[in-house]
Amino acid sequence: MSLHKFYPIFDDVNWLKRMLPLGIKLVQLRIKDATEDHVRAQIAEGQALCREYGCVLVINDYWQAAIDLGCEWLHLGQEDLDDADLKAIRAAGIKLGVSTHDDDELERVLAFAPEYVALGPVYPTILKKMKWHQQGLPRVTEWKARVGDVPLVGIGGMSVDRAPGVFEAGADIVAAVTDITLNDDPEDRVRQWLEVCK
């Protein structure tokens, strides 16, 4: 299946309640610093909402909960890969997306035959401190040449204005976080994103 070009990332299912009615078809639930019970409740509610709106739900990090709750998609960072049981994840039929930042990480990830590869940060990001500086658009083009048919997600410092250039550089999908969540009118911003990602 082909994934939608717009990939917002939210840290709470309440965002899904607000944004899915606008037409989002691909979303990641990235919950940080929460109890296992809270995470599982969020995932279960997110699944129900995404089924209702015909949206693909990707769970960040919590691979055991994703298996237990019958999730279809999982996103893992490089640190997550060290601890995750990839055989169990694949045995459960879960599709996998993985973050990459440098050549070694990309080589490592491609060995797992992921359903998508994310490259970031393409632009400077305020979301989290990273040892990698902005990758830039030439890196997006280089990564796309290397991953071939595997969908490439551009993430980090993304905005509606920057999205066309990222697609032009070779990304198949663009992920956004703070451009939506810190916007004065998040709903309107999502509508703009959906328009630019047609």
Give the tens place of pLDDT for each residue, 41-68: 999 999 999 999 999 999 999 999 999 9
Is 1 part of a structural domain of the chain? Answer: no
| Percent of the chain topping pLDDT 70 | 95
Q: Which residues contact 188 (CB under 8 A, 6 or more apart)?
A: none
Is 85 part of a structural domain of the chain? Answer: yes
Contact 119, 140 (CB under 8 A): yes
Given 2, 32, 87, 128, which residue is catalytic? 128
Is 140 part of a structural domain of the chain? Answer: yes
Active-site residue, 128 included: yes
How many distinct structural domains can be found in the chain?
A: 1
Is 122 part of a structural domain of the chain? Answer: yes
Given 5, 99, 139, 189, which residue is catalytic? 99
Is 169 part of a structural domain of the chain? Answer: yes
The whole-number pLDDT of residue 130 equals 57
Contact 56, 4 (CB under 8 A): yes
Average pLDDT of the chain is 95
Active-site residue, 99 included: yes
- Per-residue model confidence as pLDDT tens digits over 135-149: 899 999 999 999 999
How far is 149 from 81, CA to CA, in rounded Å? 22
Phi, psi of 158 (to 5 degrees): -75, 145
Is 18 part of a structural domain of the chain? Answer: yes
User: Model pTM?
Assistant: 0.96
Q: Identify the bridge partners of residue 7 per DSSP, sorted by sequence position.
A: 175
Given 30, 95, 144, 189, which residue is catalytic? 30
Parent domain of 47: 6-196
Identify the CATH number of the domain in which residue 43 sits. Answer: 3.20.20.70
8 DSSP 8-state letter: E
